[in-house]
Structure 1
Amino acid sequence: MTKEKVNNKEMDAIYTLDGKISLLKAFPFGLQHILAMFVANITPIIIVAGASGLSTKDASMLLQSAMIIAGIGTLIQLFPLWKVGSGLPIVMGISFTFVSLACTVGAQYGYGTIIGSVLIGGLVEGVLGLFAKYWIKIVSPIVAATVVTAIGFSLLSVGAQSFGGGSGVDNFGAVEHWILGMVTLVSCILFNIFAKGFLKQLSVLFGLVVGYILALCMGMVDFSAFKDVSIVSLPHILPFKPEFNINAIIAFVLIFMVSATETIGDTSALASSGLNRDATTKETSGSIACDGFVSSLSSVFGCLPITSFSQNVGLVAMTKVVNKYAIATGAGIMILAGFFPYIGTLLATLPSAVLGGCTIMMFGTIVISGVQMIGKCGFSQRNITIAALSLSVGLGFTQCPEIFDIFPTLVKTVFAENCVALVFVTAIILNLILPKKMEQQ
């Protein structure tokens, strides 16, 4: 076989799930996936670490672990262990879904309570994932679409807070934060407009680089943490002592159910757009189980829950590159990066306003994705009722949390300031009780 035929055969293998390709061919495709999710993988850690009062040193340590756990989670999705993992080209990373709740719990109870809640909540989701075939039908497409929309709305205030300089800073909303945030945001938009092909996926990374360079010029980057950083380091096991608060655990378990809903949607979307078929129950079950059990493993390293990344599903849909080994190369890159603390420490120096400029755009995209999902479900009377009432109750009631004062503390902890949880529960109840064909009633 000629060299040209070998190369053509190898390139064709890129578009098949189990095709055999060389490391040289796999590397750029794997790197592309990592670049598409890298910023989104580290941002939740930075936001929650700041809200929980952790030091820059602790934050950089967690970023190191976040990169490793994202790589491990992706490998398990690609190459399942027993029934854990889907066998599909799903890229995993630290979840945005838990940011709002984690910020609240971290500020009120401390970071150790977050870790204890993630440990228990992940195990619950993992077990439920193994038995998904018995309950998955109650999470209909309209429920998943409504929840995704709510997640986007719930994160907008988090992005705005970062844009203003971060939680607790003395000069919140100062002109320098506005400058950094606006320059970063405009850079993201311009890159997205003028970049071609898959490069559009890197608009957030481009904006982050531009904003960071500007922050350096403005003297707003603190490098003091580098004096205690080694060149190579192993991840820390249980860097924070887990603490178990029943209210926080229940709240996290509920949001893990929301995360499972997102994972169902991502798994279905990937199978449809990348493989031109529906996801099997086995694949969906393994995907959810991986989501849960690897999240518990993440807590052992001091990290937040992990989940499938929608932006990488979009990348697969655009490029049609579904090869396991190509994406596994990206996971390997992420794991290696996690063993070099200088990378995590550098990322931890990112000013909050720069992250705000990036995340405002990212969070808005999540809202639009949810709206598009609702559109795909169709605007039947039943679907409109589920989406409209769930969003109205979830977003409306949590704007005035005192409305929950008549309820026990546990209910207030779970729902009063967590619109995603309230939207999820409302949507599930409506989906169960509303007639299937309301138009004919």
Structure 2
Amino acid sequence: PYLISMSLLASGIGTFLQSNRVWGVGAGMICMQGTSFAFLGVTVAGGMWVKAQGGGPQDMMAMLFGVNFVAALVPVIVSRFIEPLKKIFTPIITGSVIALIGISLIKVSVINWCGGEKAEDFASMSNIALGAGTLGVIVLLSCAKNRWLRLSSVVVGIAVGCVAAGLSGQFHLHSLGDTLFRLPTLFPFGFQFNSAIFLPVALVSLVCILEAVGDLTANSLISQQSIDDHAFRNRLKGGILADGVSCMVAAMLCAFPNTTFAQNNGVIQMTGVASRYVGRYIGVILILLGLFPPVGELLRQIPAPVLGGATMVMFGCVVAAGIRIITQTPLSRRDVLIVGLAFGAGLGVESVPAFLSHFPPMVGDLFGSAATSGG
């Protein structure tokens, strides 16, 4: 529970920084920050290494969060060199990465729609109907002429889905916990560092930067901002810098590293709301969710089929945004080859995860997702 609360708190602080853009920190857009799954493998490996050296649970936590704090300097440093790196992160590359991220997210959405990976009634007709109903309400309201109906389509769709789940017996509200308020503690387990654990974590940070560049590019395009001028490069610089600062905050709070999420790009596309002021409110809400655990626990209990139906169209919009970036300019034969290789590698690994099963664990951790292998 503490880890979840601190992760929400760190995500809120990072989202607020991204939206606010103070002293050049942040992209000045709605850029949701969240705990990155990419660090899971190297984090577990680092913890097992500490255990093998005779360290206890507290030593493991102190080492992991100490290393994560230092590794957060990687995006901070890289953000200072965005100008030359922009020659590498072309629209062809960033568009392909964004499309592959969206495709990966659609898989997650479908699994949730079916009830969740470990559900006993996986893909039952009741789960399919619940997700379809939620999706139908969102699509219907998104096409409405009334502006407020369009803006609230996602929230209303999820609310209707929860009510339907309750009426059908698929949603039961459980205990929200005994802790009403939780204050954060900085480095509660202490601070340790080891270069052998740092190197793979730093490498994963570099891979996450590639994804973040794609996310920020798609966000700019959907928000009707230029993606090829000095202002855009400043947004990239501030966004990557905020990623690093957010990871530092997460490590200090005993939470795992954050990264910019692509999911909110689909919400922006659907609702048409791209104001960074809204991003500030979202950041504050996430901070409150971290400080008041019962609120976060309530949201966590939303039925998986409802979330799956709600996110299906959003993640589809992420794929569309990536394709839109790719097709902004006419594709040469070389460009087509690059896109083909990116999608081939990304979808290949996504479709057959066993492809990397005989490689070293770190290779699987780095290239186990469609976005990183294709990118």
TM-score tier after normalising by the smaller chain length = 0.7 to 0.9
| 1:204/1:115 CA distance change after superposition, 3 Å | farther
Identical amino acids, percent of aligned pairs:
24
Aligned mate of 1:185, from 126, 135, 138: 135
Question: Is contact 2:266–2:314 with CA below 8 Å preserved after alignment?
Answer: no
Q: Deviations over 1:102-148 (max 9, x none)?
A: 68789998997997886565432222113323423211111100100
Aligned mate of 1:167, from 114, 117, 122: 117
Instruction: Note the C-alpha offset of 1:412.
Output: 3.2
Alpha-carbon separation, structure 2, partners of 1:304 and 1:151 = 18
Alpha-carbon separation, structure 1, partners of 2:163 and 2:64 = 33
RMSD in angstroms over aligned alpha carbons?
4.0
Aligned residue in 2 for 1:228: 178
Question: Is contact 1:272–1:279 with CA below 8 Å preserved after alignment?
Answer: no
- TM-score between both structures, scaled by the size of structure 1: 0.67
Alpha-carbon separation, structure 1, partners of 2:148 and 2:231 = 25
Q: Count residues in correspondence.
A: 356
Alpha-carbon separation, structure 1, partners of 2:169 and 2:40 = 27
| 1:229/1:376 CA distance change after superposition, 3 Å | same
Alpha-carbon separation, structure 2, partners of 1:188 and 1:407 = 42
Alpha-carbon separation, structure 1, partners of 2:204 and 2:112 = 23
Q: Which runs of 5+ in 1 are unaligned?
A: 1-56, 425-441
Question: Is contact 1:77–1:85 with CA below 8 Å preserved after alignment?
Answer: yes
Instruction: Note the C-alpha offset of 1:277.
Output: 6.8
1:92 partner SS: coil
Aligned mate of 1:261, from 213, 229, 232: 213
Matched residue type, 1:377: T
Alpha-carbon separation, structure 2, partners of 1:336 and 1:376 = 40
Alpha-carbon separation, structure 2, partners of 1:365 and 1:82 = 32
Question: Is contact 1:72–1:331 with CA below 8 Å preserved after alignment?
Answer: yes
| 1:156/1:85 CA distance change after superposition, 3 Å | closer
Q: Deviations over 1:43-83 (max 9, x none)?
A: xxxxxxxxxxxxxx56xx62x54554344224433554555
Matched residue type, 1:310: N
Aligned residue in 1 for 2:52: none
Question: Is contact 1:74–1:91 with CA below 8 Å preserved after alignment?
Answer: yes
- Map of 1:12-161 to 2, 5 A cutoff? 57=1, 62=4, 64-65=5-6, 67-80=8-21, 82-86=23-27, 88=28, 90-95=29-34, 98-99=36-37, 101=38, 119=69, 122-161=72-111
Alpha-carbon separation, structure 2, partners of 1:127 and 1:223 = 45
Q: Deviations over 1:259-287 (max 9, x none)?
A: 33225415753785389975254443122
- TM-score between both structures, scaled by the size of structure 2: 0.77
- Map of 1:219-368 to 2, 5 A cutoff? 219-230=169-180, 232-235=181-184, 249=201, 252-266=204-218, 268-269=220-221, 273=225, 278-279=230-231, 281-301=233-253, 302=255, 305-307=258-260, 309-311=264-266, 314=269, 318=272, 328=280, 331-336=283-288, 338-368=290-320
Q: Structure with the greater relative contact order (CA < 8 A, sep ≥ 6): 1 or 2? A: 2
